[in-house]
Amino acid sequence: MATLEITGVRFEAGGRAILRDVNLAVAEEETVALLGPSGSGKTTLLRMVAGLDQPSAGSITFDGQDLRGVPAHRRGFGMMFQDHALFPHMDVAANVDFGLKQAGWPAAKREARRSEVLRLVGMEGFEWRSIERLSGGERQRIALARTLAPEPKLLMLDEPLGSLDRGLRERLASELREILGALRVPALYVTHDQFEAFTVADRLAIMNEGRVVRTGSPRELWDEPGTEFVARFLGMENILPAATVPGLAGESEATGDGLVLVRAEGALLADDPGPGVVSGTVVSLHFHGASTELRLRVAGTELSFELPSGSDLPAEGAVAHIRPPRIQRVEPGEGALL
């Protein structure tokens, strides 16, 4: 049973449509990542669910109850903000206690809960530290602890790892996955980083220009991007007209103007052209260690392949034949990203 249901939500600000007809459901205990380029409306949607902004049209229900008119501080949801929004005039303990006090927890229970969440995020002993003296990663953990403390019925995380450097981000993303998994509440996770979304979420909702354009598990989306937009957003750039790939031309006569996605991972060199093989001129070779990126010009489009460095690679300017693991159809458009 879906606990959070977003139906036909629209939002206009200053005459501009930020959200146009968003539909999304989040099931009990499910973590859904809202993934999309900046400006696609992810954070706005989060603020609608939080009650910090009100939709112009559409409905948001939680456990069947319409949330319209319920102010943010009465929804019982938790939100972790981008750049954390910790209260700078309070110490760690006071930040974590804030929500507990609002919820009327007695002092003894408060203290126990505070220790519990600080332990959960690995920050025991930081109670009396001032916020100003915490590092970026520490702030992130305290922000999470503060959000989790009052046991929110729904958790929202807005680019929680956005301001951290790459290595720390990857480590914390796995930790977040474990914490969210143990919590058993629905969660919405906003990010623009597909690897972070893959790590943390059970399901992805890809957003573009104010709409959810695709939902599915990370695996489903990776295997079948379906549209050019999703493919490009997941970092797959080998997209070209179906007609230019030999062996596909005949098969796709009915939709000769369609696009295909040539999967780059696990591609191998072929000796001859043929069905399922793309042929073109080698534009450049970039040595990456174990693999080498080979850029191939096929009918005016540049494709990129990762080939094992050990193989006998063709020289720049030579004609090469490559057999990708799969060539799959994608619908053009959905607002081309690049």
Partner 1 sequence: MRIDARTRAVWLALPALALIGLFLIYPLAEVLRVSFARGESLSPLFEDNYFAGRLWFSAWQAALSTALSLALAIPLAWVFACHRFPGKGTLEALLLVPFVLPTIVVAVAFTALVGPRGALNVALMKLPGVSNPPIDLMNTLWAILLAHVFYNAAFCARIIATNWRAIDPRTEDAARMLGAGARQRFLAVTLPQLRNGILAAGALAFLFCFTSFGVVLILGGPKYSTLETEIYRESLFLFRLPIAAILAIVQMAVTFSAVAISTRLQSRVPGGSHGRRESAFTRETLVAGSAVLVVAGLLTLAPLAALVERSLHAGDGYSLRYYTMLDENVRGQALFVAPIEAVRNSLVFAVCTALIALPVGGLAALAAVRARSTLVETLVQLPLGVSAVTLGLGLLISFDTPPLNLRASPALIVFAHSLVATPFVARTLTARLRSMDPRLRDAAAMLGAGPLTTFLRVELPMLSGALAVAATIAFATSMGEFGATLLIARPEYPTIPVAIYRYLGQPGATNFGQALAMSTILMAVTASAFFAITRAGGRDARF
Using CB under 8 A, list all residues that contact partner 1.
Answer: 47, 50-54, 71-74, 76-79, 81-83, 85-89, 98-99, 102-103, 146-147, 150
Least distance from partner 1 to the Cβ atom of residue 151, Å: 11
- Beta carbon of residue 223, minimum distance to partner 1 (angstroms, whole number): 36
Q: How far is the CB of 123 from partner 1 (least distance, A)?
A: 18
For partner 1, give the closer residue by CB, 73 or 119: 73
**Nearest 10 degrees: Cα torsion 39, 45, 47, 50:** -160
Give the residue with the Cβ less far from partner 1, 21 or 83.
Answer: 83
Burial of 109 (0-12, 13-18, 19+ CB in 10 A): exposed
Residue number, 67 or 267, with CB nearest to partner 1 = 67
Q: Which is nearer to partner 1, 129 or 323 (CB)?
A: 129
> What is the distance between the alpha carbons of residues 260 and 86, in angstroms, rounded to a whole number?
47
Residue linked to tokens 């956005």: 162
Query: Could you write out the three-class secondary structure of 266-328?
Result: CCEEECCCCCCCEEEEEEEEEECCCEEEEEEEECCEEEEEEEECCCCCCCCCCEEEEECCCEE
Nearer to partner 1, 83 or 302 (CB): 83
Strand-strand pairing, 239-241 and 77-80? unpaired
Least distance between partner 1 and beta carbon 103 (Å): 6
Can you read off the two tokens belonging to residue 71? 């102010």
User: For residues 24 and 86, which CB has a smaller minimum distance to partner 1 in the complex?
Assistant: 86
Query: Least Å distance between CB 42 and partner 1?
Result: 16
The two tokens of residue 27 are 């099931």
Amino acid at 227: T
